[in-house]
Amino acid sequence: MSEQTNPIASSNGTSRRDFLARTAAVAGAAAVLGPVAASTARAAFTSAFPVPIAPTPPGPDDVIQMGVIGTGGMGTGHCEQFTKLAKDGKAKVQIVALADVCDPRVENAKSVVEKAQGNKVDTYRKYTDLLARKDIHGVLIASPEHWHSQMAIDAIMAGKDVYVEKPMTGNLEDAMKLLEASKKNPKVIVQVGTQYMQYPRYAVARKWIKDGVIGKPTFSQTSYCRNSLKGEWLYYDIDPNWKPGVNLDWEAWCGPSGKAEWNPEIYARWRRYRKYSTGIIGDLLVHETTPILYALDPGWPTRVTASGSHLIDKKMENHDQVNLTVEFESEHHMIIAGSTCNELGFEKIIRGRKGNLFLNAAPCVFRPESLFVKEEQLEERIENCPDIGDAQDVHRLGWLKCIRSREQPAANVELGTKMMVIVDLATRSMWDGHAYTFDPKTMKSSRV
Q: What phi and psi values does residue 222 have, to the nearest 5 degrees? A: -160, 170
Q: Can you give the pLDDT at residue 29?
A: 41
pLDDT digits (tens, 9 = 90+) for 190-225: 999 999 999 999 999 999 999 999 999 999 999 999
d(CA 141, CA 151): 7
Q: Can you give the pLDDT at residue 234?
A: 97
Going by C-alpha positions, the residue among 448, 166, 432 that lies closest to residue 288 is 166
Q: Residue 5: is its pLDDT beyond 90?
A: no
Strands 217-225 and 349-352: antiparallel
3-state secondary structure the chain: CCCCCCCCCCCCCCCHHHHHHHHHHHHHHHHHHCHHHHHHHHHHHHHCCCCCCCCCCCCCCCCEEEEEECCCHHHHHHHHHHHHHHHCCCCCEEEEEEECCEHHHHHHHHHHHHHHHCCCCEEECCHHHHHCCCCCCEEEECCCHHHHHHHHHHHHHCCCEEEEECCCCCCHHHHHHHHHHHHHCCCCCEEEECHHHHCHHHHHHHHHHHCCCCCCEEEEEEEEECCCCCCCCCCCCCCCCCCECCCECHHHHHHHHCCCCCCHHHHHCHHHCCCCCCCHHHHHHHHHHHHHHHHHCCCCEEEEEEEEECCCCCCCCCCCEEEEEEEECCCCEEEEEEECCCCCCCCCEEEECCEEEECCCCCEEEEECHHHHHHHCCCCEEECCCCCCCHHHHHHHHHHHHHHHCCCCCCCHHHHHHHHHHHHHHHHHHHHCCCEEEECCCCEEEEC
Q: Can you give the pLDDT at residue 331?
A: 97
Q: Residue 418: is its pLDDT beyond 50?
A: yes
d(CA 138, CA 40): 26
Give the whole-number percent of the chain exceeding pLDDT 90.
88
Q: Residue 12: is its pLDDT beyond 50?
A: no
Q: Residue 350: is its pLDDT beyond 60?
A: yes
- Write down the mean pLDDT value for the chain: 91
- Alpha carbon 141 to chain centroid, angstroms: 9
The pLDDT confidence band at residue 362, using thresholds 50, 70 and 90, is confident
Q: Can you give the pLDDT at residue 28?
A: 43
Q: Give the mean model confidence (pLDDT) for residues 173-199.
A: 97
The pLDDT confidence band at residue 42, using thresholds 50, 70 and 90, is very low
d(CA 234, CA 256): 24
d(CA 53, CA 159): 5
Q: Residue 241: is its pLDDT beyond 60?
A: yes
pLDDT digits (tens, 9 = 90+) for 116-146: 999 999 999 999 999 999 999 999 999 999 9
Q: Give the mean model confidence (pLDDT) for residues 31-49.
A: 40
Can you state the angle between helices 16-33 and 148-157, rounded to 10 degrees? 160
Q: Residue 16: is its pLDDT beyond 80?
A: no
Q: Can you give the pLDDT at residue 32?
A: 34
pLDDT digits (tens, 9 = 90+) for 323-338: 999 999 999 999 999 9
Q: Residue 157: is its pLDDT beyond 70?
A: yes
Give the dihedral sign, CA 264/265/267/273. negative
Q: What's the residue count for the chain?
A: 448
Q: Can you give the pLDDT at residue 96?
A: 98
Q: Can you give the pLDDT at residue 168?
A: 98
Q: Give the mean model confidence (pLDDT) for residues 86-105.
A: 98
d(CA 25, CA 22): 5
pLDDT digits (tens, 9 = 90+) for 384-410: 999 999 999 999 999 999 999 999 999
Q: Can you give the pLDDT at residue 361?
A: 87
